[in-house]
Amino acid sequence: MHYLRILFLLLIPISSWTQISGDWHAMLEVGPTQIPLDIHIDFENNVLTLDSPDQQVMGKNVDTLVLTDSTVYFEIRAWKVRYTGKYDQKKELINGEFFQAGVTFPLNFGRDEIEKKEIKRPQNPPDAVEYEVLEVSFKNKKGKFELHGTLTIPKGDGPFPAVVLASGTGQQDRNEEMIKHKPFHVLAHHLTSNGVMVLRFDDRFFGESQPKFFNSTMEDFASDVSSAIDFLSKQKKVDKDKLGVVGHSEGGIHGPIAASQNKKIKFIVSMAGVGVRGIDLLIRQRRLLLGVEGVTLESTFVKDSLMLLKIYNEIKSEDGLKYEETQQIVKDFFDNLTEEEIKEFGDSPSIVKQQIPQFFAMKAIQSFLEYDPKLYWDQVQIPVLALNGSRDIQVEPTQNLTGFKSLFNHPKCETYLFDGLNHLFQKCESCTISEYGSIETTIEPEVLDKITSWIKGL
């Protein structure tokens, strides 16, 4: 639900000695998160490149290089990164410190590749479970293609409450897997172990075509959810009066759109879903994300919001958004920034001037911006549980839950705010996106219990 800048784009050393030529390896540790870095140094041609494989950054050149007899210094200005190290020729080490956005980390390079420490995900379900697991497929008749997923059925005769899980932004698998976390696998395991049937499925065209996926709209994604509901409703042990959708993040949009068109859906659980217009959420999200990255000037926030509104207005116009118009809007944005604002904004204008038009050219993003929840929720008179974490910087909780309260039109509707949890419903410290992977817990147990008890209490 957001367009991200790479949060850790990293750099490393070179020396005036030919011995330093070749490959160097380090592991940047940010809390429990481990980021492997590979440095390739060609002293003769005075070239240094960086690979950060986990971030899909390969062959990155440094902006600035300063060398003395024993000290090396590098920086990448666009990412507010710098590195200072000392070359120990006897031990074949470069010992130093890595700086980014005001935070310092020790970072030492050696000749040997460094293995990552094992990442612990204690909530990942075991292979042997106490319920039935079926690999299934079903058709989206509207799009004339098949979707593939996993159906988990509780022990017993039923009938059981049943849910379809709807994933967030981007093309994701049935587990909504990210950075070794499998939120939907964890959620499905907990629900099914407690008497709720669950269908989770891979996003359309998963493993086939990302361009086809991003050329889809919110209505298209909702049709996938609706097709999943149709399939689930035909299962023998389903309680058709307790058939619903659990949507996370953008999946919280797909649920109500599907429910406005498919009356088989009897309830919705929104996990950091969207209770306000897409454009309003994006403006607020951008403010929070820029703030995390060190932007403090109110004028920068205002100009960024105006840029988004101009793009939104073009999307809503009769002719729609044209790529060239987006390029001009972005150019005007950077042309109007002061020197102080450009320095604080941090991004390289040449990079962002390419990224933003490409981002908004996608149908999926345009459709998200155009989303108006009232158009759909007015047609949905069913129980709703809307959840947020108080430290969510992708879907700001106060704005979002207030929006949901204005949409509710059934007596069994509820909002609930979990203190200290982020967008993935993890207990967090910095609560930034980059921290998600460093947290061992996938979903806090209190969240799993709340969802389960609410569904079973209907």
Give the closest residue to 274 by CA, choosing from 203, 201, 221, 215: 221
- What predicted TM-score, i.e. pTM, was given to this entire model? 0.78
Nearest Cα residue to 110 out of 25, 184, 20: 25
Domains for the chain: give ranges and CATH numbers.
18-110 (2.40.128), 132-277+371-456 (3.40.50.1820), 279-366 (no CATH)
pLDDT at position 57 over 90 = no
| Pairwise CA distance, residues 59 & 48, whole Å | 9
Q: What is the pLDDT of residues 183-207, one digit of tens each?
A: 999 999 999 999 999 999 999 988 7
Residue 349, pLDDT above cutoff 60: no
Residues 6+ apart with CB under 8 A from 78: 9, 63, 346, 347, 348, 351
**pLDDT-derived band at 294, boundaries 50, 70, 90:** confident
361 vs 247, higher pLDDT:
247
The per-residue pLDDT for 307 is: 92
Look at residue 15 and tell me whether its pLDDT is greater than 70.
no
Is residue 264 a contact partner of residue 230, using CB atoms and an 8 Å limit?
yes
Lookup result for tokens 């039935």: 132
Beta strands in 19-88 (DSSP E): 22-30, 33-42, 47-52, 57-61, 64-67, 71-76, 81-88
- What is d(CA 201, CA 173) in angstroms, rounded to the nearest whole number? 7
What's the whole-number mean pLDDT along residues 395-417? 96
